[in-house]
Structure 1
Amino acid sequence: MTPSLTNALVSMLERYLATLFHAGTTVVLAYSYKNGFGKKALLALSVAHGIIDTFAAYYQFKPSPVVLAVIYVLLLTVSVLLLRYGLPKVKEEREEDRIVW
């Protein structure tokens, strides 16, 4: 069965946002671990992941375009915040202290 173009595009958007989110969590977690507050960052990122997953699970029970939009906006917002926090921290590292990714 071939999905509709709309469903395919929505699915692609969700995968793109999930990739951004996980890239942001990786950068923040690596930076925080290196600087001694990895446990706090892990807890905060786990809570953020749990909240997003809760909305995603709710969508499975009550499919709604509004719920889907809320999930995507939440995922995009958290991803952008994580990357805005983490990427400048990575750029300011000295070469000898650089994290091996």
Structure 2
Amino acid sequence: MDVIMNIAALGEVEAKAAERDKLAKLRASASKLDSTSDGRMFGNVPSGAQAAKVLRDAVTSLAQQASEGGQAVDDIRSSAATAAQIGEQSDMAAEQALAQARRSVLA
């Protein structure tokens, strides 16, 4: 069974996955919101403390999901980089074997 690897596409996946600044910005924003979401942010509004708790819980959940998403993206980037490296090494080994075979035939 022949396996054909698109090394350029794997490299592109790695590069695109590395450009995940949006997740980092989302985590930073969630952190800022979390630090300001105490009962005072709602002033003297009735149930302000309850609203702050709901907001804190939502922000905590958002931050956790962004973190997990970031880990998944890191895993994808790492896997794509490893696969591209394996493909490049395989190509080099195949070129060396082919060159050796040509030398043997021509000798």
TM-score of the superposition, structure 1-length normalised?
Answer: 0.39
TM-score of the superposition, structure 2-length normalised?
Answer: 0.37
